[in-house]
Structure 1
Amino acid sequence: MLSIIIPTLNEEEYLPSLLTEIKNQGFKGYEIIVADADSEDDTVKIAKRFGCKVTKGGLPPKGRNEGAKIASGDLFLFIDADAVSLPVRFLKDLVEKFKSRNLNVASFPIYPQGKIIDNIFYWLYNLWAKLSQSFLPYATNVILVEKEIHQAIKGFDEKVKFAEDHDYVKRAKKYGKFGFINIGPVLVSARRFEKDGRLITYLRYILAGFWMLFLGSIKSDIFQYRFDYSLKIKNKIGYNTNTMYKLPKIKFPTIKLPKLKSGKVKLLKPVKSEFIKFSKKQSFSFLVLMILTSSVFGFLAGAISGSYFYWEIKDFFGRSNIEITRPLKNEEEQSLYTFQEQAIVNVVKKVSPAVVSIIVTKDLPVLEQYYIS
């Protein structure tokens, strides 16, 4: 049996669409569990109307764990409420490929229902998740896992403040086989880009990726983001949705030096590095991803700076009441010449045609005779 677990908080706008998509799959042998974090809208009523099990949730990690506690299935599918569209036969295909590849935990490609630049960013993200699946598992917010694996790793780490799905599959891979199943993509809402801004959101994801790669799970509030995207709400679970970008207090490890006895020198043992060691193939894949990512952000920076420059020019003329008119005919003619050529043209227009003829033919004696006469 497949247990579909959805954490929610004020999701009355998106939840009906997702539940309808699931019902229209024609898949048999599943249940839907909604773990709600005390929504103040009609989220719970909608879930019950669709026949879902409802339990008390919290932030996404806690909500998923609470949903798993009452799940009856041997497979858990964790998915967010803002998944607005599922591919045809999605549930059937993902279960079949999951079993045919002998996987224990898997994730799937997602794309935002937004602009082209969002799709490009997520295409790079999905590509990286696919390339790194054998040595460095990354997940989207759609995860399929066996119940035994979920219990073995004790579910989602509720202390992780950002990218808890990556932390989850990284720990799950130690107990089983992870894979990235490339089936039709799940379309998700682009509300995070629209609320927080695309550039900030992209940078947050990239910096978070480097943080997890070299420093481990994110348990500080540095990459904190809103759960339900309400602008002015402090919900009952004690999560202030307006609090963002809090820099954490960095604790540096202290090294205790041993006491030295006379006549004996006690050397410190080398500390094992926590950095990940890559093979040549893995390093090449990582380098390709960094080049592609840099190219995309170079394009973004150029587009943003160009738009800002245009806005400044437009705003300047709007404030100064200067009318922008078409250039005069003489100005149109001047635009055909370079700066040096224009100087010659201005002189030629003011002198005698005879002088021009002499200059062009380089007949210096005639030019001298012209000035004498």
Structure 2
Amino acid sequence: MKLSIIIPTYNEEEYLPNILESIKRQNFKEDFEVIIADANSTDKTKEIAESYNCKIVPGGLPGIGRNNGAKVAKGELLLFLDSDSVLTNDYLNLAIKEFEERNLGIAITQIVPLEKGFINEITHEIANYMTKQISHIKPHGAGCYGILTYKSLHEKVNGFDETLDFGEDTDYIERIGKISRFKVLDKPKLLISTRRLEEEGLKNITIKYAKSTAKQMVGKKVTLDELDYSFEHSKSQKKKRIFYSLCGEGLGHAIRSGVVIKYLIDQGYDLIVFASDRAYQYLNSKFDNIYEITGFNTVYENNSVRNKKTFVYNMKDVPSDLKNNMNKMYKLAKKFKPDLIISDFEFYANLLSHIIHVPLISIDNMHVLTEAEYDSPRKYSKDRLFSEAVVHAFIQGADKTLIYSYFFPPLKDEENTRYVDPIIRDEIYKLKPRNGDHILVYQTSDSNKKLIRLLKNNPEKQFIVYGFHKDERDNNILYRAFNEEQLYNDFKDAHCVITNGGFSFITEALQLGKPILSIPVKKQFEQILNAIYIQKLGYGEHHDTINQRILDNFLDNVPEYKKNIRENYRRHIDNSETLNVLKETIEEVLNKSE
């Protein structure tokens, strides 16, 4: 027999048919066989292999699987392929012809991305170029891109080194290259899936392969743990796997999620995170495995939510957003196989949970609107009904619901719902607040022009304003674009704060003992309820609008509000209590689902 094609697999029901079909289409006249080395797949991988009349042998890590395949191989030549690759037309004929004409002992193939797009194509072109350049220095091959060799040479070097959990392909190529000739083939091309690139991101993949190549070039071995790299069946996959998805509007969800994500990673969970807009930008600068999705955005005008415009703005993109987001999340779910989904008020995670039948934990501050019993003024009844409907639409049927809150009205379902204390950034805990002269103004949007006019009419007072996305001084107003380090300093030294009704900023202000003048965005009932309780608890004031009388009255009462916060607000030294509750809830839900 001329050729044996060996493919290691683990849960590859999505990709395996593609490569087997591409092999079936080859116009290769000589005898060959296909051997699948399967690592105990739990999906339909083995059934698919059997339907294509493949031999099936036990697998494991890639090196083990390839060796097991080679042991039963009858071919003179061995071709090692990955299961997510696809052979181009006439690949086998071109590869073997060039291999034999150039009198080679081992060779690899150049690659082309299966998924089109400029980034995919340019990165694969660079990979081909670098592989060919390095091959002039020493035999090398990052990734099993069609390793072609003789079975006799495979046996002479005792196959792949099964003690290596990473770089076993490069080690194999180098050892055979020392006793024969190695080249990167010019003519045949192998189509390669970009799923690893999509899952880990270009930056992460580049760093990992650059690090591994540099070490291998000087003869050093590299491990999976060093690179934080995993195969589906490797040791790291024993960790519980979580999809964490969060609302991208504003930065409140992102800031607290940053604390939660770090904690979960430190606790040994494998995480993939989905976020949109500013939340994605914020988290992507701090963590790996952050994936961008599109989210819903609120339209603000004159410090008011415009419900009709918000509806029109979002609905025009819903069909494409729904398709693109769910396609990305579903594909990653099939690969990553999450044990649990956690949503911080993110809509698509809720849908995915129901589609793939994975338990869902909801953790946010929004669910106080629907899960608690409380009174609110009748003038807000329409806003309340609308906001409750939005919360119900975003998350349905969570297995457990955790609600961040600084006020605690009775819950409707205490068995499956509980309050947790707000998450505060560690940097806020470390601050030593003092009573400065400036008033810190923090806005969710830049639509409150009336507030700015009022601040200008108080030239004897100094205001530092965030939310208008600029660094600029206008007499007594100092505008700042968002910068965490700068915000910490402005926060700790503020005399008091003026804000909308954003939950995260309010809770951090309370932690620092800063009285709050809250002017919620009109029609946004979550902010309105936050502000109602600020006034009810004596921590500041709630007003639908602001004028000189309201500002003066608030400033006159700042000492009293400081006293109330100091005596009644339960301040913390860290987030451990809330994070421990989250971990307990995760383990409870996971144990129940097993």
Letter in 2 for 1:227: F
Over 3 Å counting, the alpha-carbon distance change for 1:117 and 1:324 in structure 2 is farther
Aligned to 2:164: 160
Q: Distance in 1 between matches of 2:174 and 2:299?
A: 55
Aligned to 1:144: 148
- Measure how far apart 1:240 and its partner are: 2.8
Aligned to 2:33: 31
Judge conservation of contact 1:161–1:221 (CA < 8 Å) in 2. no
**What are the equivalent positions in structure 2 for 1:336-355 lying under 5 Å apart?**
none
Task: Name the one with the larger strand percent.
Answer: 2
Aligned to 1:217: 221
**What are the equivalent positions in structure 2 for 1:216-255 lying under 5 Å apart?**
216-219=220-223, 221-228=225-232, 235=233, 239-241=235-237
- SS of residue matched to 1:145: strand
Judge conservation of contact 1:3–1:71 (CA < 8 Å) in 2. yes
Aligned to 1:337: none
- Measure how far apart 1:31 and its partner are: 0.2
Letter in 2 for 1:11: E
Judge conservation of contact 1:2–1:76 (CA < 8 Å) in 2. yes
Judge conservation of contact 2:28–2:93 (CA < 8 Å) in 1. yes
- SS of residue matched to 2:94: helix
Aligned to 1:179: 183
Aligned to 1:78: 80
Judge conservation of contact 1:9–1:227 (CA < 8 Å) in 2. no
- Measure how far apart 1:89 and its partner are: 0.6
- Measure how far apart 1:20 and its partner are: 0.4
Judge conservation of contact 1:225–1:241 (CA < 8 Å) in 2. no
- Measure how far apart 1:242 and its partner are: 6.0
What value does the CA root-mean-square deviation take over the aligned residues?
3.0
Q: Distance in 1 between matches of 2:129 and 2:61?
A: 28
- Measure how far apart 1:324 and its partner are: 10
Aligned to 1:14: 15
Cα deviations by residue, 1:15-49 (Å, 9 ceiling, x for unpaired): 00100000001213110000000000010010010
Alignment gaps of 5+ in structure 2? 240-277, 286-296, 301-442, 450-594
Judge conservation of contact 2:112–2:190 (CA < 8 Å) in 1. yes
Aligned to 1:62: 64
Q: Distance in 1 between matches of 2:235 and 2:206?
A: 23
Letter in 1 for 2:199: K
State the identity as a percent.
35
Letter in 2 for 1:240: S
Judge conservation of contact 1:105–1:146 (CA < 8 Å) in 2. yes
- SS of residue matched to 2:60: coil
**What are the equivalent positions in structure 2 for 1:130-141 lying under 5 Å apart?**
130-139=132-141, 140-141=143-144
- SS of residue matched to 1:241: helix
Aligned to 2:129: 127
Using CA pairs under 8 Å that are at least 6 residues apart, name the structure with larger relative contact order, 1 or 2: 1
Aligned residues: 254
- Measure how far apart 1:317 and its partner are: 9.8
Judge conservation of contact 1:317–1:323 (CA < 8 Å) in 2. no
* Pairing 1:108–2:103 present: no
Aligned to 2:530: none
What TM-score results when the alignment is normalised by the length of structure 2? 0.40
* Stretch moving more, 115-124 or 10-19: 115-124
Over 3 Å counting, the alpha-carbon distance change for 1:214 and 1:317 in structure 2 is farther
